Structure 1
């Protein structure tokens, strides 16, 4: 999806096949197990499964086009002797236009191999980008 795209609950006409939308987005959630780069956008389109609208479906179609164009990408696990744990976290401050909550994301590496990752909305509204980042870092500690 285009990074400037802001999806909302009140932005277009309703999609006429909501069951089909839910089915496709559900399948995309399984794809995120091996395709980390789509975790954030799949999280975004998953937030509208209760009442999908046409702009949401257009976003899903962009994700599907991206996957078709990058079919040979995926996670590769390689043997390594360095077994240190590294965690990275980030947030997108106030990214939800409906409720102004931030989105957090993180990934955890064991050596050079990624072993855990997520992207989800924060539970509370942050008043600054620094607060959103602190919440993101705290969530990584809990998840490890």
Structure 2
């Protein structure tokens, strides 16, 4: 996958993974190992959480379509290698967050 074409999204939303579509993959250990590693990566890359959740639903009997989802995530990661949450040790405890929510239209909830 080192020379693969990067993907612009973490998951292909036009198709849905099926429990019975496609053949069972030959190397289920590879599939489970990659899925586990990517599940760990969701700690700093929450943008892949949905796609990895879909992959993990099929750990018991992964099929070729599920392996394709996994490969799509790897292609996405190749194109977005600089993205992610950067967790650094600091002397002060502070949290900085941004949102695009428009609170002006929300009723007061005192």
The correspondence for 1:9, drawn from 19, 23, 35, is 19
Q: What stretches of structure 1 move > 2 A for 4+ residues in a row?
A: none
The correspondence for 1:47, drawn from 40, 47, 57, is 57
Shift of 1:5: 1.7
Shift of 1:111: 4.7
Number of residues of Structure 1 aligned to a counterpart in Structure 2: 84
Do residues 70 (structure 1) and 95 (structure 2) align?
no
Which structure dedicates a bigger proportion of its chain to strand? 1
5+ residue gaps, structure 1: 78-82, 84-109, 114-144
Deviations 1:72-122 (A, max 9, x none): 001146xxxxx8xxxxxxxxxxxxxxxxxxxxxxxxxx5517xxxxxxxxx
For the residues of structure 2 that align with 1:50 and 1:25, how far apart are their CA atoms?
A: 12
Structure with the greater relative contact order (CA < 8 A, sep ≥ 6): 1 or 2? Answer: 2
Partner of 2:46: 36
Do residues 23 (structure 1) and 13 (structure 2) align?
no
Q: Cα RMSD over matched residues?
A: 2.1
5+ residue gaps, structure 2: 1-10, 88-93, 99-110
Partner-residue secondary structure (3-state), 1:50: coil
Do residues 112 (structure 1) and 79 (structure 2) align?
no
Partner of 1:129: none
2:22 and 2:65 in contact (8 A); partners too? yes
- Normalised by the length of structure 2, the TM-score is 0.69
